[in-house]
Amino acid sequence: MLRFSSFAGSLSAVMLMTSTALAQVPPDPANPNEAVPEKATYVPYGPTIKLDQAKKAADAALAESTKRGWPMCIAVVGPSGDLVYFVKMDDCQYASISIAQHKARASAKYRRPTVVFERLLGRGPFFSYLATLDDVIASRGGNPIVVDGKIIGAIGVSGGTGSQDDLISQAGAASMK
């Protein structure tokens, strides 16, 4: 208890010292994140994907992987990122079981393809903050499933290169359009 209070005391002292400094952080014209967009652009969420729809999207992705001879894991989630359907193809690497789910979850929760994170992180240090956001995965292969202009879920694919994963994922997402 004594140790905790002394720690809290030193912490508040640090905060006092820095709070004035924080208010004075000048804008950095070199940082593209300083711009304040007028509008919020997003695709609205719809109802949670039905199992039949999830199977249809995953089967389209599975057919494309089978045709190309790429062993993949395919995960389909609802708008909140909760798992609805999952398949692991024979000989797919073990790591992809969780990566496929992660890509699908991140794509649904952030309402965008995971390639967006990959591209922005590649653009340099002003975008490295993205890696600090909850549950981000900066690797392509996760794509939202959009029906009637609304996001009903997302599909995540892992097992090959990022580009192979994304091709399969997009084939799955496109089957719902």
Partner 1 sequence: MKTRPMLTLEDCRRISAAAEAEAKRNSWNVCIAILDDGGHLLHLVRMDGASPANARIAMEKGRTAAESRRSSLVWEERIKAGRNSMLGMPGITPVQGGLPIIVEGICVGGVGVSGVQSHEDEQIAAAGIKVLG
Write down the least CB distance from residue 46 to partner 1, Å. 15
Of 77-85, 119-127, 129-137, 139-147, the segment contacting partner 1 by CB under 8 A is: 77-85
Give yes or no for residue 83 binding partner 1 (CB under 8 A): yes
Distances (CA, A) of 54 to 49, 65, 157: 6, 17, 13
DSSP 95: H
3-class SS at 16? Answer: helix
Give yes or no for residue 68 binding partner 1 (CB under 8 A): no
Number of residues that bind partner 1 (CB under 8 A): 15
Residue linked to tokens 């070199």 = 30
Out of 94, 125, 134, 177, the residue judged to bind partner 1 by CB under 8 A:
94
Contact (CB, 8 A) for 133 and 104: no
| Footprint on this chain of partner 1 (rule: CB under 8 A) | 50-51, 78, 80, 82-90, 94, 97
